[in-house]
Amino acid sequence: AQRVTQPEKLLSVFKGAPVELKCNYSYSGSPELFWYVQYSRQRLQLLLRHISRESIKGFTADLNKGETSFHLKKPFAQEEDSAMYYCALTVNRDNYGQNFVFGPGTRLSVLP
Amino acid sequence: NAGVTQTPKFRVLKTGQSMTLLCAQDMNHEYMYWYRQDPGMGLRLIHYSVGEGTTAKGEVPDGYNVSRLKKQNFLLGLESAAPSQTSVYFCASSEAGSYETQYFGPGTRLLVL
């Protein structure tokens, strides 16, 4: 079965320090991965997705198929990055669209 | 545009009562989803729909039913609520096709006593 794991429930770093949020997945097909973020009192929203190969708010994520990982990285954390981060994997349902499998989430706390 | 809205925001039920959660989107999206969020478990897909009149089971469908009579609305029903259904429920929508971004509603907090 498809699965997404995020080993850290809570990650605390100081402002200006590098941050890496870990995500590992298990999926026999060709994966498509996303990072979603939920800031305090805001809705869950897309941060970035693998297929776009983009950098959003200084965050990047590289898909490593050998290690089945999609870790989220930022070289210099900011206090406004404090939020709950979810890694997600899309699963193709044969001829019936696709749905998402979310990891349990990691709460990032950036300390001043 | 309001995006994705959910009604109600908060509800308390007694075991055995029924209720319906309403999700509405004004983005003309084909796909809609219902998730539940529980501590330490992330979001788990309950049911989803790839178009008006169609629904499909997700990861945790037991105890829930859904309907998509209109493209813009996706209803989640609990026929006989149980304490295990205490959770925060999120609705989302996306354009048709693989790998599209999901847009989430603000959530509905449900407490079943």
pLDDT (tens place) for every residue of chain B, 113 residues total: 779 999 999 999 999 999 999 999 999 999 999 999 998 788 999 999 989 999 998 889 999 999 999 999 999 999 999 999 999 999 999 987 656 788 999 999 999 99
Residue A65's pLDDT band, with cuts at 50, 70 and 90, is confident
Cα separation, A37 vs A79, whole angstroms? 14
CA A101 to chain centre: 12
A92 DSSP β-pair partners: A98
Q: Please tell me the predicted confidence (pLDDT) of residue A81.
A: 97
Give domain limits for chain A. 3-111
Domain of B55 in residue numbering reads as 4-97
**What CATH number was assigned to the domain covering residues A3-111?**
2.60.40.10
Instruction: Mark yes or no for CB contact A97/B58 under 8 Å.
Output: no
Which residue of chain A is at minimal alpha-carbon distance from B60?
A: A101
- pLDDT recorded at residue B106: 95
DSSP reduced 3-state for B73: strand
Q: Is B20:B75 a contact under the CB 8 Å cutoff? A: yes
Q: Does A10 touch chain B (CB under 8 A)?
A: no
Task: Tell me what pLDDT residue B47 has.
Answer: 93
Residues counted in chain A: 112
Residue A47, pLDDT > 70, answer yes
Question: Cα(A43)–Cα(B35) distance, rounded to whole angstroms?
Answer: 13
CATH number reported for the structural domain that contains residue B49 in this entry: 2.60.40.10
- Determine contact: B59 vs chain A, CB below 8 A: yes
